[in-house]
Amino acid sequence: MASYPKGIQAVAVALRRRYGDHDHYNRRNPLDELLFIICSTQTTESSYRRTFRELRREFPTFSRLAEAPAEYLAKPLEPGGLSNQKAKSMRRIFDAIEETFGKLSLAPLREYDDAACEEFLTALPGVGKKVARCVMMYSLDREVFPVDTHCWRIARRLGWVRATTGDGHCSDRDMDRLQNRIPAALRYTLHVNFVSFGREICTASKPACDQCPIARHCRRIGVRAFRY
């Protein structure tokens, strides 16, 4: 039987009470979600929400997107920065999806099991495990746990996981280890609320521990210098 971190249920309840499972504006269509995540690379939330809206306004159907050259895709992405890079990445992904499914759609993934779904998504150009699991969780209703920077930092402060890498970054193996430590039914709520909590209170450099609703579960409380 899997062993889960002590107090994990109480942490999930406390954070849900505070943040209400806010979904961070992610998309229900899996291809839209993938585009939304690409738009979010290295920019602020208000900026990527806007560039995604502009992109879909310019190309309202997937068939219009499928035909668009990268330089056309780049135009509405400009306000979010890295527009050429993001547009090329989208173009490569579109080509790979069309090659497999014969059309620009990720709907066929609804018939795949979790392992096959993740395998397909991570084989797309530039798509790693975190992005694949975001698409799976937000748009395909899979009980996976995407480990972004907030989830990684908070889970470590709570003592739920340790990095296996020398520099403390989250490797693919660490993502699997952390996911396996979280009961499937709590993965969605913990992910979305960790993102809110990590932005508001458990921030990277100066966490507001005096306002923390889960301080009694934290292994790092009382330590002056945070190493992570």
12 binds ligand SF4 (CB under 6 A): no
Place of tokens 């795949």: 112
Closer by beta carbon to ligand SF4, 96 or else 215: 215
Closer by beta carbon to ligand SF4, 3 or else 205: 205
Place of tokens 């709520």: 189
Q: Which of 91, 82, 81 is nearest to 35 (CA)?
A: 91
8, 70, 82, 212: which one binds ligand SF4 (CB under 6 A): 212
127 binds ligand SF4 (CB under 6 A): no
150 binds ligand SF4 (CB under 6 A): no
157 binds ligand SF4 (CB under 6 A): yes
207 binds ligand SF4 (CB under 6 A): yes
209 binds ligand SF4 (CB under 6 A): yes
Shortest distance in whole angstroms from residue 10 CB to ligand SF4: 13
Shortest distance in whole angstroms from residue 130 CB to ligand SF4: 21
List residues near ligand SF4 by CB under 6 A.
Answer: 157, 201-202, 207, 209, 212, 214-215, 218, 220-221
